[in-house]
Structure 1
Amino acid sequence: MKILMPTILLLPTTTLCSTKQLWPMSTIHSFTVALLSLQLFKSSLETTLCHSNYFMGVDQISSLLITLSCWLTPLMLLASQNHLTTEPITRKRTFTITIIILQISLILAFSTTELIMFFIMFETTLIPTVVMITRWGNQVERLNAGTYFLFYTLIGSLPLLIALLSFNTKNGTLHLCTTLLNQTPVPNTWTHTMWSFALLTAFMIKMPLYGLHLWLPKAHVEAPIAGSMILAAVLLKLGGYGIMRTTMATYPLPKKLHYPFTILALWGLIMTSSICLRQTDLKSLIAYSSVAHMGLVIAATLTQTKKAYTGATTLMIAHGLTSSMLFCLANTNYERTHSRMLLLTQNMQLLLPLMATWWLLASLTNMALPPTVNLMGELIMIVAIFNWSHVTILMTGLGALITAIYTLYMFSSTQWNELPSYIKTISPTHTREHLIMALHILPMMLLMMGLTLNS
C-alpha cells in the first residue's frame, strides 16, 4: 500500500499541475515511488508471502517484478519526452495518465493473492497498452498491431477464465495461500490435462510461446518507445509470473501437456534466434530476441523446481532491464535518422561515440557474458532443464550460441561498417539519454555485485 497509494496520487498530480511543471513533477514523483519500491527487496529475502492485507501480499518473485515495473515508469517518461514534443498539453497529460494506469494495474497484478483478481488486473493491462500502441505508435500499421495484440490476448484469456471458475467451484477458493496449503496431487486424466491447458494458454500467448508470438514483433515495431519498453520489460514477465503462480497451484503438470510445451519453447529458442540473424529492422530484431529469451523461461518454469523458478525470476529481471535499454538505444538512432533499417543506420560509433559504449554494455548483457546477471539466470535454468532431460543441452547450448552471433551482428551493424552517404549532420546526444542508459545499467551492476557477494 505504501507504493500503491503514491502511484495513484500521481493521477491528480499529472492532471492538476501546470503546463511547464508536467514533465518535472511526474518524473520526480515517479522516481520517488521507484525508490520507495526498493524496500520490497526486504520481502524477497523471506521465503513466505508477506501480507499487507487479506487480498494483497508479496513474496520473493512478485516483490522483484513490482520493483522492476516501478523503476521503469520514470525511465519511460524520460524516454518519451522527445517523441511528444510537438503534441498539445492535453495529449501529453493523457499519455502520462496512460502510463500511470498501466503501472497501477501491474502493481495490483503482481501483489494480489486472489487468482481471479490477478486475472482482472492481467486483462486491465491490455487497455492502456493498446491505447499507447494505437494512438502514439510511429507507423500507419499501428492500428493493425493493436488489433493483433488485443485479440490474441483476449482469445487466450477466455479458457483461463473458465479454468479459474472451475477451479473455484472445485476448491471453494482462489486464494493462493489456501490453494497451496490444500494442494493434493491430481490424477493424470484427460480432463485435468485440458483444464491445465486452458489455465496456461493465456500466459503462453503473453510470454509468448513460439507459434503464438505473431503479435509481438508487430506490437513492438509499431509501439512508441514507452510502449516497447514496458512490453519487453514487464508485460512479457506477467506471463511468466502467471505460469509460476498457476503451476504452483496445479502441481504436478500432466506429461501430455508438459512435453509439447517444453519442446515448442526450446524449438522456439532456436528458431527465433535464427530469425534474428536475417532481420533488417532493428526493433524487430530486439523483439524476436525477447521471444527467444522467454522460450527459455517457459521451458524452465514447466519443470516446476525451485532452482528453475530462481533462474527464471533472475533472467526475467535481467532481461527486462536489458531489452528496455536496447529499445531506448534503438530509439536514439531512430530519432536522428528516422529509420530503423540496419543498412541505413551504420557506423554510429563515429557520430555518437559515447552512445557506442552503451551499445557495447547492452550487447554484452544480452549475450549473457560473465559476470552479468543474465548469465547467472541462464545457467541456473539450463542446469534445471538439463536435470529434467539431458537431451535439452543440445537445444539450450545452440540457442546460447546463436544469441551471441545475432547480438554481435546487431552491434557491428549499428556501430561499424561504412557511414551511409545521406547522413551529413546529426544532432548530438543529450544528457537525458545518457541518464536513461545509466539508470538501466546501474541496477544490473548492483544486482551483479549482490549476487557475486552472496555466492
Structure 2
Amino acid sequence: MLMIFLFIFFVLIFLSFNKNWWLLQNFFFFFFFFMYFNIPLMSYFLNISYMFGMDMFSYLMFMLGIWIITLVYIPSINLKIFYYFYFNIFMFIFLIIFFFCFFSDNYILFYIFYKINLISILILIYGWGYKFERFKAGFYLILYIIFFSLPFFLCLLNLNALYMMFMYYFNFINNLNLFYYFFLLMIFLVKMPLFMFHIWLPKAHVEPPISGSMILAAIMLKLGGFGMFKILMLIFNCNMKFNFYLISLCLLGMLILSLICFLQSDLKILIPYSSVVHMSLVIMGLLIFNNWSYCGSLILMVGHGLCSSGLFCLSNICYLPFKSRSMFLNKGLINMFSFLSFWWFLLCSSNMSFPFSLNLFGAIFLLMSLMIWLDYLYMIYFLIMIVMFLYSLYLYLYTQYGMLFFNMNYLFYINLSEYFLLFLHWFPLNIFFLFMEIYI
C-alpha cells in the first residue's frame, strides 16, 4: 500500500510541472496495468494493516476509478478545457482520494476522505461547468450530502467508543434501533442515490463537463455502494431486521423512475435516471447481503460504471454537431453518423442487460438472490426489467431514426480518438464475463 501511495505522490510532483496532456494519460494507463499485474488475487483479503487494506470489492472499485480517469483525458482535450494545469492536479487528487477511500481500514478515516471527495467534485462542477445553473446543482449536492453526514458521524463516534471500528474486524453489532440503522445507511443511500433522495443527481450530471459526468457516474456513485457494503458488515444482524422497508422502497422507485425515463427529452437527464434505476438494484442486492447478491452488486457496479460513462460520452459527441442535448433535435443520427449509431446500439444493448455484458450477469445474480430472499418478488423484478429494456430501446430508436435537424453542423466529423474512447468503454464491459471467477 505504501508503495502505491508513494508512486502516486512522486509522479504527481514530476508531472505537475509538465504540460504534456498525453503524457499524463499514458501515466494513468501505465498505473492501471501496474496495479493489475502486481496485486495477487489468490485470497479475498490483501495487504491488511493497521491503516490500509483491500478486499475484492475495494480493489475492483479502485481499478475502475483508474480506468475512468484514464479515459477522461480523451474527450476533455476536444473541449479545449481551460486551466488544464489545475485540471491535471484535480485528476491526481481524485486518484489519491479514491486510494484512501477504497483502501482505508478505519471508518473514521474513510468518512474524512469521503467528505473531501464531495469538495473535489464541487470544485469540478463550479470550475468547469457551463451555465449558471451549476451553482444550483452544487447547492443540491451539498444540501443532500451534508444533511445526512452529521447524524452518520455522530453515530460513528458513539459506536467507536464501544467497538473496534476497523473495517476488517467482523464484530457484528446487535443492539441497534431503527434510527441508528437509518442514520448509518442514509449517507450512502443518498450518494448512490436511493429513490426520493435522487433529485440532486440529474442536476449534478447536466452542469459539469463531460469529464465530471464520467467521474460522477462511474466512480462517485460507487463510493456510496462501497461505504454501504462496509457499514452493513458492521450492522449485519440489524440489517436482517429492517432491510425489508428499504428493499420495498427500491422496488417501487425502480418502477417509477423507469416510467419517468420515457418522459425525458434531455439525453443528459435520461441517462442519470437510468443510473438511479441500476443503483437501486445494487442497493437491493447489498441489503439482501448473501453471497449471490454480493457478487451481483459488485458485477453490476463495475458494468454500470463503464456503460453509463460510455453513454455520457455518446451524448457529448452528439451535442457537438447539434449544439443541443434535446432528443427532439438529436434525431436521424443513423443517416449522418452510421458508425456512431453502431456504438449507440452496443452501449444501449449493454444498458438493457444484453449478452454478454456484465449488466446481464449482475441482473441474473440479483434475481436469484431476490428469489432466495422472498420468492414472490421476482414477478415485480421481471416487470421492472421489461420496462428497463423498453426505455433503453426508446433511447436508441428515438435518437437514430427520424429526420435530421436542418440547422445542424453538416461539416462536423468524429475523430478516431472518440471511437477509441467508446471502444475502451465497451470492450472491458463485454469481455470481463470470461473472468467471472474473480467476482465469485
- Is TM-score (shorter-chain normalized) higher than 0.5? yes
Is residue 121 from structure 1 mapped to residue 113 from structure 2 by the alignment?
yes
User: For the Cα contact (< 8 Å) 1:314–1:376, is it kept in 2?
Assistant: yes
Offset from partner CA, 1:128-170 (integer Å, 9 cap, x none):
1111111111222111101111221111111111121111111
Residues 1:454 and 1:394: Cα distance change in structure 2 (over 3 Å): closer
Match of 1:309 among 290, 294, 307: 294
The separation in 2 between residues aligned to 1:432 and 1:113, in whole angstroms, is 39
1:454 Cα offset (Å) = 10
The separation in 2 between residues aligned to 1:431 and 1:3, in whole angstroms, is 33
Alignment correspondent of 1:46: 43
Aligned pairs (5 A) from 1:125-140: 125-140=117-132
User: For the Cα contact (< 8 Å) 2:353–2:359, is it kept in 1?
Assistant: yes
Is residue 176 from structure 1 mapped to residue 167 from structure 2 by the alignment?
yes
Alignment correspondent of 1:283: 268
Residues 1:258 and 1:40: Cα distance change in structure 2 (over 3 Å): farther
Aligned pairs (5 A) from 1:123-272: 123-171=115-163, 173-178=164-169, 180=170, 182-183=171-172, 186-187=174-175, 191-254=176-239, 257-272=242-257
TM superposition score normalised by structure 1 = 0.92
Amino acid at match of 1:337: F
- Counterpart of 2:370 in 1: which secondary structure? helix
Gaps of at least 5 residues in structure 2 are none
The separation in 2 between residues aligned to 1:175 and 1:407, in whole angstroms, is 41
- Counterpart of 1:156 in 2: which secondary structure? helix
The separation in 2 between residues aligned to 1:111 and 1:67, in whole angstroms, is 12
Offset from partner CA, 1:294-339 (integer Å, 9 cap, x none):
0111111111212111110000000000000000111111122211
1:8 Cα offset (Å) = 2.7
Alignment correspondent of 2:27: 29
The separation in 2 between residues aligned to 1:348 and 1:117, in whole angstroms, is 48
Is residue 322 from structure 1 mapped to residue 323 from structure 2 by the alignment?
no
Task: Report the RMSD for the aligned CA atoms in angstroms.
Answer: 1.9
User: For the Cα contact (< 8 Å) 1:346–1:418, is it kept in 2?
Assistant: yes
Residues 1:5 and 1:416: Cα distance change in structure 2 (over 3 Å): farther
User: For the Cα contact (< 8 Å) 1:267–1:395, is it kept in 2?
Assistant: no
Residues 1:109 and 1:424: Cα distance change in structure 2 (over 3 Å): closer
Aligned length: 439
Aligned pairs (5 A) from 1:406-417: 406-417=391-402
User: For the Cα contact (< 8 Å) 1:37–1:70, is it kept in 2?
Assistant: no
Aligned pairs (5 A) from 1:288-367: 288-367=273-352
The separation in 2 between residues aligned to 1:343 and 1:234, in whole angstroms, is 30
Residues 1:52 and 1:302: Cα distance change in structure 2 (over 3 Å): closer
1:382 Cα offset (Å) = 1.5
- Counterpart of 1:131 in 2: which secondary structure? helix
Residues 1:52 and 1:255: Cα distance change in structure 2 (over 3 Å): closer
1:177 Cα offset (Å) = 2.4
Is residue 72 from structure 1 mapped to residue 68 from structure 2 by the alignment?
yes
- Counterpart of 1:176 in 2: which secondary structure? coil
Aligned pairs (5 A) from 1:5-16: 5-16=6-17
Offset from partner CA, 1:45-78 (integer Å, 9 cap, x none):
522x212632111111111101100111110111
Alignment correspondent of 1:59: 55
Alignment correspondent of 2:353: 368
User: For the Cα contact (< 8 Å) 1:34–1:71, is it kept in 2?
Assistant: yes
Amino acid at match of 1:55: M
Alignment correspondent of 1:82: 78
User: For the Cα contact (< 8 Å) 1:220–1:228, is it kept in 2?
Assistant: yes
User: For the Cα contact (< 8 Å) 1:386–1:392, is it kept in 2?
Assistant: yes
Amino acid at match of 2:87: F
TM superposition score normalised by structure 2 = 0.95
Off by >4 Å, runs of 4+ in structure 1? 452-455
The separation in 2 between residues aligned to 1:56 and 1:301, in whole angstroms, is 23
Q: Percent identity?
A: 31
The separation in 2 between residues aligned to 1:380 and 1:345, in whole angstroms, is 36
Residues 1:263 and 1:40: Cα distance change in structure 2 (over 3 Å): farther
Indicate the larger mover: 256-265 or 33-42.
Answer: 33-42
Amino acid at match of 2:61: L
1:452 Cα offset (Å) = 8.9
1:376 Cα offset (Å) = 0.5
Indicate the larger mover: 2-11 or 295-304.
Answer: 2-11
User: For the Cα contact (< 8 Å) 2:251–2:381, is it kept in 1?
Assistant: yes
- Counterpart of 2:195 in 1: which secondary structure? coil
- Counterpart of 2:146 in 1: which secondary structure? helix
Residues 1:152 and 1:426: Cα distance change in structure 2 (over 3 Å): farther
1:256 Cα offset (Å) = 5.9
User: For the Cα contact (< 8 Å) 2:321–2:409, is it kept in 1?
Assistant: no
User: For the Cα contact (< 8 Å) 1:348–1:416, is it kept in 2?
Assistant: yes
User: For the Cα contact (< 8 Å) 2:322–2:409, is it kept in 1?
Assistant: no
The separation in 1 between residues aligned to 2:419 and 2:239, in whole angstroms, is 48
The separation in 1 between residues aligned to 2:101 and 2:438, in whole angstroms, is 32
User: For the Cα contact (< 8 Å) 1:40–1:67, is it kept in 2?
Assistant: no
Residues 1:300 and 1:311: Cα distance change in structure 2 (over 3 Å): same
1:358 Cα offset (Å) = 1.2
- Counterpart of 1:177 in 2: which secondary structure? coil
Alignment correspondent of 1:394: 379
- Counterpart of 1:364 in 2: which secondary structure? helix
User: For the Cα contact (< 8 Å) 1:207–1:236, is it kept in 2?
Assistant: yes
- Counterpart of 1:343 in 2: which secondary structure? coil
The separation in 2 between residues aligned to 1:115 and 1:452, in whole angstroms, is 29
